[in-house]
Amino acid sequence: MNALLAELIGTAIIIVFGGGVVANVVLSRTKGNNSGWIVITWGWAIGVFVGVFCSQPYSGAHLNPAISVALALGGKFAWNLVPGYVAAQVAGAFLGAIIVGLFYGEHFKVSDDLDAKLAVFCTAPAIRSIPRALFCEIVATFFLVLPVFLITSGTIAIPGADGAAHDVPIGLGSVGALPVALLVLGLGLALGGTTGYAINPARDFGPRLAHGLLPLGAKRDGDWSYAWVPVVGPIVGGVLAALVARAAL
């Protein structure tokens, strides 16, 4: 499978499971309505497990622009491959969100909580303090990316835009699908209560776009004044983790 297609599919899988579990918990008249935060964190973790497990042999299972940028900064990934990976990740997240929106279409129609509808697609702070939310996204992503650097080993050959083969670190996949899923589960349980732990710009930006396009009945705006936080915060957190890892290794 082409590496970019693998990144698209892997990221879409994460959003189908992750966005799907949020929809099941927060939308009206679902079987899982009001089942709570533990269910949501487990759903996201399982989505990460499946996405990483499926894409790892083909792309290295980055599935997150913060991972791709951090690996490139750390000298473990070619910079010329980053734009393609990021585009595939955003497209995959958008596609996954479209699937969730269509799947739960009837429940969106009968749900009156417009904030809950938006929450299916993207994150928002529990207490609206932008500086604090940015700090939280930076810290949470730091503790996602640093373990990846400390545990990652091994490479696979991926054809680049120049036609040549590039050695690509296995990324999340080299940590192992199960360990990285448990890492994401722990982050959600420990650090997800303030902002919803986006920790992935594609995971937030692609679905936020989908929310604006899907027919969901009554819906609010996409909260675009906040949308830069779950993009910038994870990138900064990933960069800081890469710098710390470079100094330590």
pLDDT at 164 over 80: no
- Contact call for residues 6 and 87 (beta carbons, < 8 A): no
Task: Give residue limits of the domains in the chain.
Answer: 3-248
Distance between start and end Cα atoms, the chain:
32
Ranges of beta strands (E only) in the chain are 155-159, 165-169
Question: Each residue of 80-136: pLDDT tens digit?
Answer: 999 999 999 999 999 999 999 999 999 999 999 999 999 999 999 999 999 999 999
How many other β-carbons are positioned within 10 Å of the β-carbon of residue 138?
21
**pTM exceeds 0.85 for this model:** yes
CB 103 within 8 A of CB 214: no
Contact 21, 28 (CB under 8 A): no
Return the closest-CA partner of residue 242 out of 21, 59, 65, 29: 65
Average pLDDT in the chain: 92
CATH number for the domain running over 3-248 = 1.20.1080.10
Q: Identify the pLDDT of residue 179.
A: 87
CA 117-88-191 angle, to 5 degrees, is 50
